[in-house]
Amino acid sequence: MKTWFILFAVFFIGFPSIAGASAGSAVDVSIIAESGRSLPFYPHRSTHGVKKVYAEAVRGDHYRIVVRNNLNRRVGVVVAVDGRNIISGQKSWLGNGERMYVLEPHAVNEYSGWRTGQDRVNRFFFTDAPDSYAAAFGDQSAMGVIAVAVYPELQRVKRPPDLSTTAPGPRPQADAEAKAAARGEASQSAGTGYGREEYSPSRRVSFEPERKAVETVLVKYEWRETLCRMNVIPCGQACGPAHNRLWDNTGYAPPPPVRP
């Protein structure tokens, strides 16, 4: 059965002519500020098909996520900001059943906001964590992470015609979630706000993803002073961040909880 996903209607034949950092192999991911400047990336240890980098955020800056498909086949990308799927707004686990954007082979798309309709988005901008879109839902479990999970299109020898459609739904979530850190501590972290509305046309296409992501790119963005305290930028004392369910995931299954 086919599943329908949203495709950003405007895509580029080549990579935008902007210099700066990118991360990834199957795809190239860049974060572009309103001025056109590409946010510099600071490498972090990457394992098991997960690429991790740090980036410096500037308060109030609007930004867009640019993704280039380096493969010779279509891919679907689940994009989550602060742990929320940017199409559905739902809590994201980067799974292949989530809403995703589709890129043609070697195409480049850009994603500039939370999708609020078929032809409009509300822009991303850097703000303090308590004022972020995710915090409005009481969720700071993956604050400050821009995540892109890449799913190549499933290739079959023969695909029978199928005219049925199904709307992708959110992945079931646990009823209880851990509470966010104290507001005073959270205010020192960066988040993404729900900014101004803009025209952004899209259309639905038929796409069936593979079961596993070929690559996941995680960009942990923080204020400069926070990166200094963490010694990402060598200008201060080390300061360990709070646990983040996407960024700190090791890729292995943890043991089950001990039952009483």
- The residue that leads in pLDDT, 240 or 12, is 240
Q: Are strands 50-56 and 215-222 parallel, antiparallel or unpaired?
A: parallel
**Per-residue confidence at 201, pLDDT binned at 50, 70, 90?**
confident
| Residues 6 or more apart whose Cβ sits within 8 Å of residue 224 | 56, 233
Residue 68 burial (C-beta neighbours within 10 Å; 0-12, 13-18, 19+)? buried
Q: Tell me the mean pLDDT in the region 161-174.
A: 44
State the number of CA atoms in the 13 A half-sphere of 171 facing the CB. Answer: 14
Check whether 181 has a pLDDT greater than 70.
Answer: no
Nearest partner of 8 among 198, 246, 212, 216, judged by Cα: 198
**Per-residue confidence at 242, pLDDT binned at 50, 70, 90?**
low
Check whether 244 has a pLDDT greater than 60.
Answer: yes
